[in-house]
Chain A
Amino acid sequence: MFIIKYKKIFIGISIVLVILSFAAMVVFKLNQRLGIDFTGGALTEVAYSDARPAQADLNNAVGALGFGTVILEPVGDSGYLVKSRDLTDPEHNALLSALSENGKLKMEEKSFNSIGPSVGQELKYKALLLIILISLAIILFIAFAFRKVSKPVSSWKYGIIVVLTLLHDVAIPVGVFTILSKMYNVEIDTLFVVAVLTILGLSVSDTIVIFDRIRENLRNQAMVNKINFSETVGKSLEQSYVRSISTSLTVILVLLSLFFFGPISTKYFALMLTAGMFFGTYSSIFLASPLLVLVEEWQSKARENKKNKAKNKK
């Protein structure tokens, strides 16, 4: 199996991708891209029935309201998205009349969303709690799935490798999102958190199913003859990669259809999940299994060294 043969190359590719993702998060300051879901604030989207007024004119009108920093972004053909701090009813009305130049311009308010800072704070806490709870549950699930000890690699090492590939599967989509957020000015919202957590749930299963196959083959072979670990892993991969790719492909197909044709509000959500699904499948074939073989090689090398040392002592 070529994947096992060139395992160091594939592991290297994954490491580089993860490092690039983390670099993107730091360079593009992902931590400063929290949306109003988390920070509190108001988003007002308006659409003008005729051509939209020049941004500079509106900037002046809105700036005169004294709401602090107000950012206007053109959306669609004839609309603006207005970002500001959270607004009370009178402030909201003042903003609308400023945007319509005191009723002179015909416009429709498409959506308005004002979130107080305390709600945002609570959501931040909840999101953190969800991430911790789901990670814990997944780790428990991994521990359960690998409770039966198997040779030659002990089962907690399988578990650690699954957790490592999970980190890989989450880090890369987040990195992709960071770059997108820089390019298209997307902010982190609740759906972003949901996407991360769903990726955790979806990608862990793929790795586990392949590992299950490896262990099944190890058990069967142990009865016949001596185990050649890397060959067995290679064989297991051969048996399961078509299946693994097919199951992921079906999910990726629907996710792409959701991205291209679905509602705007779930566009980036679908894209992130697509990336998560893709790298989740990639990692279960090109990262998890090679890592497993690498660990086994280290183990046997260490054992040889021990034996040699013992011999030398004698």
Chain B
Amino acid sequence: MWKKRVLALIILLLGAGIAFFVFKSEPQLNKNFATASSFLKNHPFRLGLDLSGGSHLTYKADVSSVPAGQVSESMNALRDVIERRVNLFGVSEPMVQVQSGGFLSGNTDQKLIVDLPGVTDVDKATAMIGQTPLLEFKTEAPAGTPRQATIGPDGKVQIDTGPQFVPTELTGRYLKKAVLEFDPNTGEPKVGLQFDATGTELFANITKNNIGKMVAIYLDGAPISTPVVNEEIPNGQAVISGNFTPTDARQLVGRLNSGALPVPITLLSKQTIGASLGANAVNSGVKAAIIGFLVIALFLILWYRLPGLIAVLALSIYVSIILALFKLLPVTLTAAGIAGFIISIGIAVDANVLIFERVKEELRSGRTISDSVAAGFSRAWFSIRDSNISSIITAIILFWFGTSLVKGFALTLGMGVLVSMLSAITITRIFLYVIEFVGEGRVARFLFSSGISSGVSKIAEVNK
């Protein structure tokens, strides 16, 4: 008995702890959030575009000229270049995804989906994404060019590398392709470049004139590599070696290839949600969730009395757990996702209701309260499982094949159903065992019965 009480206490404390975390990691609920620990700061709810406001753009990539085996490679390169472009724009938490059409989606288009939270000026956003990436080759400035050193805000001295290099005519326009290579001796990853005819000529000149000096490769105005020239290179092939990890090298290849923009893109659809509209949706979603929770709590306590009160407690813990999961995983919440969560609150109670109804039946058949509770749980489990399977099946299929809007709903609903099944049968069970102290008297029987009856015998009559 004491073991169970301790267990119940631990669950209560854990539940309270999780709820505290959910509360403390929300910027709007805490006054001194700026001073909070980084763990809390890193886990606010992640809001989808329809709630935070922003733009959602869908591009179609024309991969008809790309050889079949290299489609995903060039799509990833495209994603990288657009991701960097978006990052330069100063968008917080942008999301750029490749969506490959497969057999199941009906066509084989390669799509790029760009989510820009907070950006409501679509025209600016699309203009920015449509830009051609800029790859430049620069040579060392003549000795004596003054270098500018500045002291950054963090106290470090920064040497401005800009004037150190001067632009040449050679740019990404003349790059034929970049490939990932490995040094046959050391196994070190390298990036190989192949220029076209004009590029070869330009590169030969540059290398001839700069033996022993650095040539800087600039991408979008920032140097990405500054190799030293060893000899003149007439064949238009260059190798960038350095301390690359294979991942870095592969990324660089992707970037260089996309510098030549291998995949033309066209805008298919765009969606912008104003910030005020999103904020309204969040407020009303939160309001609906709170009111829904309170109404259910009221129903449970009025109809199921003492077990109902326990169910409310278990439900509160369920809500804390699921909200914490939303933060930790993290799950991007949309209006549809919030709807899924709210519905899951209703479904979470289902399992408790099934258990209580069974317990009531067992009580009616003349068992003691503690026997009824035990029997009620073991018998209700099959009903709980069966009544949730179909919802879980639906959620899984919706999640696999749905669009992002559908996915948000399916994820929160599916997670809700799963977590609620576990929380209902474990948490409620432990709490119900612990309250055996109410005994077997008339009051106890009243507390364990439900509805409009005063006790068990009357229920039996009503149902006859």
Contacts and interface: CB of A to CB of B under 8 A. Distances in A.
A111 B272 CA distance: 5
A114 B346 contact: no
A264 B342 CA distance: 15
- Interface of chain B, main secondary structure: helix
A135 to B, nearest CB: 10
A125 B339 CA distance: 25
A308 interface: no
B131 interface: no
Nearest to B111: A119
B92 interface: no
Contact of A212 (B338, B386, B395): B386
Contacts of B383: 209, 212
A198 B335 contact: no
A205 B388 contact: yes
B394 A115 contact: no
Interface in A114-153: 114-116, 118-119, 121-123, 125-126, 129-130, 133-134, 137-138, 141, 145
Max chain A CB contacts within 10 Å: which of B105, B267, B357, B390?
Answer: B390
B118 to A, nearest CB: 14
Nearest to A128: B106
Contacts of B393: 134, 137-138, 141, 201
A91 to B, nearest CB: 11
A238 interface: yes
A242 interface: yes
A65 B338 CA distance: 39
A239 B122 CA distance: 59
Interface in A260-289: 260-266, 269-270, 273
A204 B390 contact: yes
B449 to A, nearest CB: 12
Contact of A273 (B289, B343, B405): B343
Interface stretch (B12-20, B255-263, B278-286): B278-286
Nearest to B339: A266
A205 B391 contact: yes
Interface in B432-464: 451, 463
B343 A116 contact: no
- Interface of chain A, main secondary structure: helix
Interface string A94-125: 00000000000000111111111011011101
A253 B398 contact: no
Interface string A44-75: 01000000000000000000000000000000
B10 interface: no
Given A114-B269, A208-B386, A253-B346, A263 B284 contact: yes
A164 interface: no
Contact of A269 (B127, B269, B282, B339): B339
A258 interface: yes
Nearest to A191: B336
A194 interface: yes
Contacts of A200: 390, 394
B391 A208 contact: no
Interface string B392-424: 011101100111011001100100000000000
Given A109-B272, A250-B353, A270 B339 contact: yes
A288 B388 CA distance: 19
A111 B394 contact: no
Nearest to B273: A111
A20 B298 CA distance: 36
A86 interface: yes
B407 to A, nearest CB: 10
B403 A190 contact: yes
A122 B108 CA distance: 11
B269 A130 contact: no
B299 interface: yes
A119 B288 contact: no
Nearest to A202: B391
A272 B140 CA distance: 68
A292 interface: no
A305 B350 CA distance: 45
B120 to A, nearest CB: 8
B405 to A, nearest CB: 5
Nearest to A240: B357
Interface in A211-242: 212, 238-239, 242
Given A198-B394, A202-B391, A253 B401 contact: no
Contact of B401 (A119, A130, A246): A130
Contacts of A253: 292, 295-296, 299, 346
Contacts of B300: 250
B368 interface: no
A113 B413 CA distance: 26
B390 A202 contact: yes
B357 A109 contact: no
A201 B390 contact: yes
B58 interface: yes
6 contacts: A111-B277, A126-B402, A205-B390, A242-B357, A260-B291, A269-B339
Given A92-B122, A193-B406, 10 more contacts: A92-B123, A113-B270, A119-B58, A122-B109, A191-B409, A194-B406, A197-B397, A198-B343, A200-B394, A201-B393
Which 8 A-B pairs rank lowest in CB-CB distance, beginning with the nearest? A201-B394, A251-B346, A262-B288, A257-B292, A125-B106, A254-B292, A263-B281, A254-B346
Interface of B: 50, 58, 60, 101, 104-107, 109, 120, 122-123, 126-127, 267-274, 276-277, 280-282, 284-285, 287-289, 291-293, 295-296, 299-300, 303, 335-336, 338-339, 342-343, 345-347, 349-350, 353-354, 357, 361, 382-383, 386-391, 393-395, 397-398, 401-403, 405-406, 409-410, 413, 451, 463
